[in-house]
Structure 1
């Protein structure tokens, strides 16, 4: 029991945290294709409804 306490105390002082030298880069690749297709489909649906006689 005393050995575990001694080991924990000895390891407690060995932890160091350093900031990275290079900046952290987060790349966000956002796909907006689905929204554009949805809007086009909605517009096409409205056009077909408004001009049902030509289809």
Structure 2
């Protein structure tokens, strides 16, 4: 029984897919953009306090 299990364990077949492999990366960069805009706005307000 152990010999038959070992013999079957060696029969592994790996085939490449016929179509292309598609990897979707959903990257959220919104937080960084908002942070930069907020920092720039804060700097602008500090530099031009007389117009705000």
TM normalised by structure 2 equals 0.75
Task: Count matched residues.
Answer: 52
Residues 6-37 of structure 1, C-alpha deviations (whole Å, 9 max, x = no match): 12332034211111111110011111111110
- Structure 1 consecutive aligned stretches of length 4 or more whose deviation exceeds 3 Å: none
- Structure 2 stretches of 5 or more lacking a match? none
In structure 1, the residue matched to 2:23 is: 26
RMSD value over aligned CA atoms?
Answer: 1.6
- Structure 1 stretches of 5 or more lacking a match? none
In structure 2, the residue matched to 1:40 is: 37
C-alpha deviation, 1:41, in angstroms? 0.4
Of structures 1 and 2, the larger Rg is shown by 1
